[in-house]
Structure 1
């Protein structure tokens, strides 16, 4: 469940589980190392004081005291190094274990989400979440917490030391540092500062997306002679981003200038206060020594202050990143049953199924499927056709439970698909989509999909899918790496790889969603001939726009605007003179249409 606590650090530790004992030990070591980093400032002051006192009093320097303080200096540095290394190792080990567990928890959770999660434009957000957001949490766990504790200890120790020696000088330095911190914090504090920061981040994100779109669509823009229009939109976003940066810099530049001026001028403030005190108490050697100590030790306060400022900067974006992680973890997996995959050939039944991608409160809500009933007997070849947006692909995706239907039921083998386990349902249905993803693996692995199958079985599926010959033409045959960094496939080749996967899977139901979209007429005929034997006895559901490819279907279901308009065989539907007949006529005209001399002829 979403952590509603506003403290971003607590949310990090509630989301990523650390081993408390090891982590507390690591943070303690790191904090103590920061505390020890202030010791040399004090020991140097003590050594200088020994020499000055001897000079003022005309006595010999006590070398033993000098060596003691020198030894303390070296010892504190050595101890600080050991503690820093130990603390860093322990904190990083805890962070890596915690974030490894978090990544695995997110992956396991996403594995139980409905497949629609991956088709809703989530890939970029998921990639950012798994990389940038989680890495930012690593910075908090491994560095920031220990640094803040250490900075707090050091500031507390210095405060105790300084206020015990001279209250006016201590008030001067801490008042200056507090003022610097408040000035720095004011850059992003308040509603106005947060709005400026939010607007800048939003415009930067829009600009990044626009640049990507501009580069990706340049080919089409140039072909159609419209690069200026795309450039104008991009220019507008660049100017918008520039204006946000100007607003941001107008606010933070004087603030940063004042912050740096105050921190750099801490010694000057001390000198002013010291001179006033010496004027009031002339000849006070003790006061002079105290002023010297403040001038030497004072700069040690700047480093922990910087840690606090940087920590505040990290927290600005951390809450947003945590919201993104919580947003995924809050998604509820669809409940699943325990039924095992059915054996043998099975039928499909859509019973009064309704579904919409928009929620009920959306005024633009449109039903993707509206009370659809379809009976597809076991071993039959059924087809879904109709105008674009009619609900064809939605019906196929609901069969695989990409989403759950709002009402009605879908049965496979006489059982509601919600009664099957996800694994059983995936074993029952094989999909071939129009857009095929090719993994950065060998051709063999891309077909086998990590199933324990032999080379002969993979080759048999490849031959049936008509991809065996072009795979053999690759440099290393079936061992050739495909995808990113490997051999590039054409759209038709990638689709035939996907068909080989489905054939090898040997599921009782095969859904082909525009599976022939990238094949020419010759390859399509060869592909159908090769698939005919292996698809024999299976229940085949083909989603198609090309009506020529489904003439032999046992039943054709015609969908329009989410409703089932008519169903029957190819011949029966043509006789009805309905929507299917109209689509058939249009496609015939399209097939006969030619370009000649700038005119169309039929």
Structure 2
């Protein structure tokens, strides 16, 4: 199987544990702007439920006065009205009751509509704001955060967890309001109609409270486990769908099906554990609630047909009042049973909100000063001054790296895999902050200028040429949204992309598919280069920018890049050393440090690591020294160990 321990901690556990009062934050931080809609929902819900209670009261009036012998004006529900409002004849009384009942249904329907509008408007607005705020915070976190979290886990927060909030803010708050109104309203009416029988009807309430408290204590950790397992399922599915080409070419469909089965079974077990508790709780709660109904029918029924109060009770019980008790007790059973559903939704929402606010409260290593100065690039001179960096405290990836690049020069970084080349340039972009030393652009420390101005001055083309779902034109103009078609075509020509784009079905309007899967690797790289050309940055970073193109296309792109880099500071990483042999300065890195520097000719004369790498690409493997081969074997073994540790 996968070899993954699915009993490991929730990937967001550390963040969740630091969140205080997540539901209060949700309501007050995100719900406050929408107070009007939620107020409409709450008031309308109260009025709608109050009107729902009228028919049973009026039925009691009809039974005891219109169809019985009790005076209409003496009915308990009518004593609050002025006597002049009440009809005197039996027919008028009948139509009065009919009219009031009909009116209660009509106005009740209006208030129910307003209630649904209010709660839905509130929940949808809050859900939208939470999702966009969470995404905005997530995308601004350091790259270190994304290195430690899987995409599926973050998607689970943005999708599943946010949706759980919407359900509680709509259904949960609606049900809670209904529950409070019905329980308080029915309790008050029962005591108003007959306090003695009311005590019988409400006898199970303390037991329901204890039963619900135990449920809440047991269900909360189970829901936290469910939310975590959902993230793992999403991570596995997202990972597999992203690597579907590898799965198919490796004939590992059965293996991956087993791995999906593992995470799905883990989710099944966690979710069923919570479901099993729920399916025991709700019937039990309904059974306890039903005891009140049975007791009411037993005591009240005997009281009516015997004509005398049973046991310790006193007085009389009219038939209409008894019928109202039966109806209200029946109506009380459902809200009591629904109380568990409200708690259920609340616990799910709280578990989700903990993950959401845990992510929102995440702080990165990169310090952002809102008052930082704008980066002003005049010459494009870049200086690395004893730079050191490690992804954690255990190992330095870059150590004591110092060099200077004059404005307009091209510097190439070469070295074996894992030497730290890409990390060095990511520090310039401030995707990570240095642990020691400093990086300066025209004497300005990159940590003292705004991130927006720093990255606006730089163009980056990586070996993983990511394209967004959309047209070719939209991908080239990404980040330069005001560019017109003429500028886009000019950039595409500079990147040797115009010819192949013209041959696409819809030219520049061709949809490239998710991640650009409809284009070859070389085509995607040329589109990415065109994007950087269009941006026209002062500093250009090329990280294996032509790794996926054939030799002929590389020659054409290289010719265009030579023109592009002529007047701007350029950093280039390349395993094909032929593409960087004309660089003004070549830095050779090994184990995070610079071991050689110079021009192509100077480094060949030194007969060091660069010369040996050149010999490998020239096919002179038999002439390489044994020491170089042994060091390469050790580096390869180290790379494989790191890869296993990451898995």
Decide which moves more: 175-184 or 442-451.
Answer: 175-184
Residue by residue over 1:136-170, the C-alpha shift from the partner in whole angstroms, topping out at 9 and shown as x without a partner, is 43444445335423421221121111123334532
Residue by residue over 1:191-230, the C-alpha shift from the partner in whole angstroms, topping out at 9 and shown as x without a partner, is x544444444444543454455556656645654655554
Q: Check conservation: 1:381, 1:553, Cα contact below 8 A.
A: yes
1:417 is aligned to 446
Ranges in structure 2 where 5+ consecutive residues have no aligned partner: 1-14, 72-87, 310-314, 623-647
2:85 is aligned to none
Q: Check conservation: 1:480, 1:487, Cα contact below 8 A.
A: no
SS at match of 1:53: coil
Residue by residue over 1:37-86, the C-alpha shift from the partner in whole angstroms, topping out at 9 and shown as x without a partner, is 22223223332334552599xxx992222222222212222222223333
CA apart distance, 1:573: 2.2
**Distance in 2 of aligned mates of 1:90 and 1:103:** 20
Q: Check conservation: 2:495, 2:529, Cα contact below 8 A.
A: yes
SS at match of 2:32: coil
Residue by residue over 1:259-317, the C-alpha shift from the partner in whole angstroms, topping out at 9 and shown as x without a partner, is 34344565333223335656885498625443322112222223433443222112112
CA apart distance, 1:565: 2.1
**Distance in 2 of aligned mates of 1:245 and 1:96:** 26
2:463 is aligned to 434
**Distance in 2 of aligned mates of 1:501 and 1:485:** 15
2:9 is aligned to none
Check if 1:317 corresponds to 2:348: yes
2:488 is aligned to 458
1:67 is aligned to 95
1:40 is aligned to 55
Q: Given the superposition, is the C-alpha separation of residues 3 and 232 from structure 1 closer, same or farther in structure 2, using an over 3 Å criterion?
A: closer
**Distance in 1 of aligned mates of 2:93 and 2:620:** 101
**Distance in 1 of aligned mates of 2:200 and 2:609:** 87
**Distance in 1 of aligned mates of 2:486 and 2:524:** 20
Superposed, which structure 2 residues align to 1:185-584 within 5 Å? 186-187=214-215, 189-190=216-217, 192-211=218-237, 213=239, 220=246, 223-224=249-250, 229-237=255-263, 239-244=265-270, 247-248=273-274, 250-263=276-289, 266-275=292-301, 277=303, 282=308, 286=317, 288-332=319-363, 334-335=368-369, 338-358=372-392, 360=393, 365-449=394-478, 450-484=480-514, 488-584=518-614
Q: Check conservation: 2:153, 2:234, Cα contact below 8 A.
A: no
Check if 1:158 corresponds to 2:186: yes
Tell me which stretches of 4 or more aligned residues in structure 1 moved more than 6 Å: 1-5
Decide which moves more: 31-40 or 494-503.
Answer: 31-40
SS at match of 1:286: coil
**Distance in 2 of aligned mates of 1:493 and 1:374:** 34
**Distance in 1 of aligned mates of 2:124 and 2:600:** 61
Residue by residue over 1:494-539, the C-alpha shift from the partner in whole angstroms, topping out at 9 and shown as x without a partner, is 1101101111111121101111121111110111112221221111
SS at match of 1:367: coil
SS at match of 2:575: coil
Residue by residue over 1:418-446, the C-alpha shift from the partner in whole angstroms, topping out at 9 and shown as x without a partner, is 23322321232100011222223332222
**Distance in 2 of aligned mates of 1:106 and 1:241:** 24
Q: Check conservation: 1:113, 1:334, Cα contact below 8 A.
A: no
Q: Check conservation: 1:558, 1:567, Cα contact below 8 A.
A: yes
Q: Given the superposition, is the C-alpha separation of residues 589 and 261 from structure 1 closer, same or farther in structure 2, using an over 3 Å criterion?
A: farther
CA apart distance, 1:541: 0.4
Q: Given the superposition, is the C-alpha separation of residues 422 and 224 from structure 1 closer, same or farther in structure 2, using an over 3 Å criterion?
A: closer
TM-score where L is the length of structure 2: 0.80
**Distance in 2 of aligned mates of 1:495 and 1:458:** 16
2:199 is aligned to 171
SS at match of 1:401: coil
**Distance in 2 of aligned mates of 1:320 and 1:528:** 53
**Distance in 2 of aligned mates of 1:66 and 1:3:** 62
Q: Check conservation: 1:270, 1:294, Cα contact below 8 A.
A: yes
SS at match of 2:293: helix
SS at match of 1:411: strand
Paired residue for 1:89, among 107, 110, 117?
Answer: 117
SS at match of 2:460: strand
Residue by residue over 1:211-265, the C-alpha shift from the partner in whole angstroms, topping out at 9 and shown as x without a partner, is 5555665664565465555455445545555554564455444333323434456
Question: Aligned pairs, how many?
Answer: 583
Q: Given the superposition, is the C-alpha separation of residues 267 and 412 from structure 1 closer, same or farther in structure 2, using an over 3 Å criterion?
A: same
1:596 is aligned to none
**Distance in 1 of aligned mates of 2:604 and 2:577:** 12
2:25 is aligned to 11
**Distance in 2 of aligned mates of 1:87 and 1:374:** 67
Q: Given the superposition, is the C-alpha separation of residues 312 and 251 from structure 1 closer, same or farther in structure 2, using an over 3 Å criterion?
A: closer
TM-score where L is the length of structure 1: 0.85
